[in-house]
Amino acid sequence: MTVADTRPAGNLLRHETSPYLLQHADNPVAWRPWGTAALAEAQALDRPILLSIGYAACHWCHVMAHESFEDPDTASLMNALYVCIKVDREERPDLDHLYMAGLQALGEQGGWPLTMFLTPAAEPFWGGTYFPPAPRWGRPSFRQVLQGVADAYRTRRAEVSRNAAALRQVLADLSAAQPGERPGPATLDRAAAALLRAVDPVEGGLRGAPKFPNPPLFRFLWQNSRRTGNAAGAEAVRLLLHRMSAGGIHDHLGGGFARYATDATWLVPHFEKMLYDNAQLLDLLALAHADAPDPAFAAAAAGIVRWLARDMAAEARAGQAAFAASEDADSEGEEGRFYVWTEAEIDALLGAGSAMFKAAYDVTAAGNWEGRTILRRRAGPADAATEARLETARARLLAARARRPRPARDDKVLADWNSLAIAALCRAAAVFGRPEWRTRAAAAYAFIRGTMRAPDGRIHHAWRQGRIAAAGLLDDQAGMARAALALFEATGQPDYLRHAIELVEVIDRWFAEPEGAAYTTAADTADLPLGPAARPRTAGDNATPAGNGLFAEALARLHHLTGEQRWRTRAEGVLRAFGGLGDRLSACPTLLAAADLLEEGTLVVIAGPAESAATQALAAAALASPDPAVCLLRTAGATPLPRLHPAHGKIAPPGSEAAAFLCRAGICGLPLTDPASLAAALRRRGPMA
């Protein structure tokens, strides 16, 4: 029997909506999307599964596709030996989490494309990431791997079964509960100290290369610095933002940041641009600018929002649009081609003004990367006239760049990533005085609630071209609850508070253990492999905040905003569910920040007519606080506060149109009527007078 004789039916990815899966729809590989049908096929044929996980903007995913998946001989071997399943990690982060953890348990470094070999029961037994088409860099060729793993499955089945059983146990252990005491100040201090030891004191970020922004980690360091008064965490954040804003990882023309830098100095990015990174960096830039206004931070923040509006608006529904997921690293078959320049191109476009621009942005004849130039800012801010000329030059180069073939865009809408953008836009709108940014946040929120909400109240995870592409996960529900609260605090509109409560109740109904943590997937998920023991449950942050951390934050905010004990009790339950992690809690910075918010968060209660200038000025001061652990509640026209709420009955003093009350640990201070006094009070923490 020849290889061709055993080839399964053709590639089924053409029926999908994911741009990543559609990139592979014409491969000669008989790809299947993940699902019960593909798993049943593997069991019926008694064939191992070749699982390939990646995403649309992934450069090395493209490389492996061109080298192996588009090669007829390699595809024929894959089809003969395996049931081949392709997964978009952005659509199914739950599957990616499971199998990436399995790879790391094998002692391998994670990354994408993720290439895992599974039993027909979807149990991982071996894997890797990128495999070259021929042996190189100490790695076997992909064909050698295909043949070797298939031979092992046929001839050493007992060994494969032992491997699969061991990995299954590892994954079950990772998902097991780790209860303990809820994190207190000493735990936060130890985590901050451990993270600060890993910070690069010269270039910012974490030491070494490659360099990732790690926004959840640095946001915790910022918040913990507000709690303790120790400036080290805040200084680490400012250094990160300064180095990134000046570096090649920053798109100085079009705005936004690439996913990471391949070097230790932020010069050479991996050019893909992700919504989640830019949303979280916008939030950090706003916090840092609120504390100490910096033109570099203001420019970088404005650039992110311009990029979001210009390049990342997804398909609209009912006049509302959310944000697309990512832009690719590659164009015209090359990584970074869209973004880099030669000196000759700069000279031709800028003429007599090119010398000044070249000096400012490291443009030389030799280039700074493979004979070309990645723009980076070599000097600090100049005088106003020089900065104006540089802005004109950047605009001219941006217009020229727009005529180049663009990188592909993954235009699917992901609820959890959009929730990060919504919350960040709300904060940035207040800090930078740009109310239109808040309007954009509200539009994205309206799109998701109107288009991606199921009849039972759950928010679906992914949407594209009128179709729901993936069911909702914990991160979607918790992230959108957090986004709803950000909009409630920014606008005072009570519907947003009601929505947040609905989503928290959805989490408790479909995702959570009673009084404990929440699982990543819903209780009725039908296609999650490896059984209930491996159902993902984690508080560890990755490039995005973990769902349990977001859930704990939403619960803590609800407690402060409503005064209801049930939300505090529920938040404590989530925090205790991971309290047994001990020193490993440093990998859960969003959860730790939620613990701080619950215990030491500041509630600003503004009493006054909603439309009055005095009320709005006080609200603006509160919303622009540099402390993330600040909540804002307007009382006029809202539901009366419960009798036990610390701000129950608070009114503006005689002769004042509006007043703000700072409430901490259940005690409210004296009324403040001056926005500057309120802003000053929010810069420091401490017991109320």
Q: How far is CA 219 from CA 216, 223, 355, 485, 598, in A?
A: 5, 6, 38, 18, 16
The per-residue pLDDT for range 613-622, each reduced to its tens digit, is 999 999 999 9
Query: How crowded is the C-beta side of 630, counted as CA atoms within 13 Å?
Result: 27
Kindly tell me if the per-residue pLDDT of 578 is higher than 70. Answer: yes
User: Stretch 224-233: mean pLDDT, rounded?
Assistant: 96
- In angstroms, the CA 457 to CA 440 distance is 23
Asked if 571 contacts 598 with a C-beta cutoff of 8 angstroms, the reply is: yes
Q: How far is CA 305 from CA 283, 310, 421, 633, in A?
A: 11, 8, 10, 27
DSSP string covering 18-66: -HHHHHTTTSSS--EESSHHHHHHHHHHT--EEEEEE-TT-HHHHHHII
Closest listed residue to residue 628, CA positions, set 463, 439, 485, 446: 485
Confidence bin at 5 (pLDDT 50/70/90): very low
Kindly tell me if the per-residue pLDDT of 294 is higher than 90. Answer: yes
* 87 backbone dihedrals φ, ψ, rounded to 5°: -130, 135
The per-residue pLDDT for range 580-592, each reduced to its tens digit, is 999 999 999 999 9
- pLDDT at position 109 is 83
- In angstroms, the CA 216 to CA 67 distance is 35
* Residues 647-651: contacts with CB under 8 Å, at least 24 apart: 647/563, 647/603, 647/605, 647/607, 648/563, 650/605, 650/607, 651/607
The proportion of the chain whose per-residue pLDDT surpasses 70, expressed as a percent, equals 98
The per-residue pLDDT for range 250-262, each reduced to its tens digit, is 999 999 999 999 9
Q: How far is CA 597 from CA 16, 18, 174, 196, 541, in A?
A: 42, 37, 27, 21, 17
User: Stretch 307-323: mean pLDDT, rounded?
Assistant: 94
Closest listed residue to residue 183, CA positions, set 584, 504, 686, 513: 584
The number of beta carbons lying within 10 Å of the beta carbon of residue 47 is 21
Q: What's the chain's average pLDDT?
A: 94
Mapping DSSP to helix (H, G, I), strand (E, B) and coil, where does residue 681 land?
helix
Asked if 270 contacts 259 with a C-beta cutoff of 8 angstroms, the reply is: yes
Kindly tell me if the per-residue pLDDT of 136 is higher than 90. Answer: no
Q: Which helix (H) or strand (E) is 327 found in, with range? A: strand 326-327
- pLDDT at position 688 is 52
| Max CA distance (Å), the chain | 94
Domain residue limits, the chain: 4-175, 185-329+410-600, 339-403, 603-682
- In angstroms, the CA 451 to CA 457 distance is 12
Kindly tell me if the per-residue pLDDT of 3 is higher than 50. Answer: no
- In angstroms, the CA 471 to CA 463 distance is 10
- In angstroms, the CA 478 to CA 586 distance is 21
Kindly tell me if the per-residue pLDDT of 640 is higher than 70. Answer: no
User: Beta-strand (E) ranges in 79-133?
Assistant: 83-88, 114-118, 124-128
Q: Does domain 4-175 have CATH number 3.40.30.10?
A: yes
Confidence bin at 641 (pLDDT 50/70/90): confident
pTM for the whole thing?
0.95
Do the bridges between strand 602-607 and strand 334-335 make them parallel or antiparallel, or are there none, so unpaired? Answer: unpaired
- pLDDT at position 2 is 38
- pLDDT at position 1 is 32
The per-residue pLDDT for range 511-561, each reduced to its tens digit, is 998 889 999 999 999 899 988 888 999 999 999 999 999 999 999 999 999
Confidence bin at 686 (pLDDT 50/70/90): low
Residue appearing with tokens 């800012």:
377
Q: Is 525 exposed, middle or buried (0-12, 13-18, 19+ CB in 10 A)?
A: middle
- CATH topology agreement for domains 4-175 and 185-329+410-600: no
What the block records as the tokens of 243 is 């180095």
- In angstroms, the CA 268 to CA 283 distance is 24
The proportion of the chain whose per-residue pLDDT surpasses 90, expressed as a percent, equals 86
What the block records as the tokens of 368 is 């700074």
Residue appearing with tokens 């290889």:
3
Kindly tell me if the per-residue pLDDT of 414 is higher than 80. Answer: yes
The per-residue pLDDT for range 232-288, each reduced to its tens digit, is 999 999 999 999 999 999 999 999 999 999 999 999 999 999 999 999 999 999 999
What the block records as the tokens of 215 is 């926004």
Kindly tell me if the per-residue pLDDT of 15 is higher than 60. Answer: yes
Closest listed residue to residue 183, CA positions, set 565, 641, 556, 624: 556
Asked if 671 contacts 657 with a C-beta cutoff of 8 angstroms, the reply is: no
- pLDDT at position 218 is 98
Instruction: Identify the sign of the CA torsion 318, 93, 552, 534.
Output: positive
The per-residue pLDDT for range 27-36, each reduced to its tens digit, is 999 999 999 9
The per-residue pLDDT for range 65-116, each reduced to its tens digit, is 999 999 999 999 999 999 999 999 999 999 999 999 999 998 888 889 999 9
Strands of the sheet containing 667-668, edge to edge, are 630-634, 602-607, 659-664, 667-668
Closest listed residue to residue 437, CA positions, set 419, 423, 449: 423
Mapping DSSP to helix (H, G, I), strand (E, B) and coil, where does residue 386 land?
helix
* Residues 563-568: contacts with CB under 8 Å, at least 24 apart: 563/641, 563/642, 563/644, 563/645, 563/646, 563/647, 563/648, 564/642, 565/644, 567/504, 568/598
Mapping DSSP to helix (H, G, I), strand (E, B) and coil, where does residue 193 land?
helix
CATH of domain 185-329+410-600: 1.50.10.10
Mapping DSSP to helix (H, G, I), strand (E, B) and coil, where does residue 152 land?
helix
Closest listed residue to residue 537, CA positions, set 509, 573, 567, 577: 577
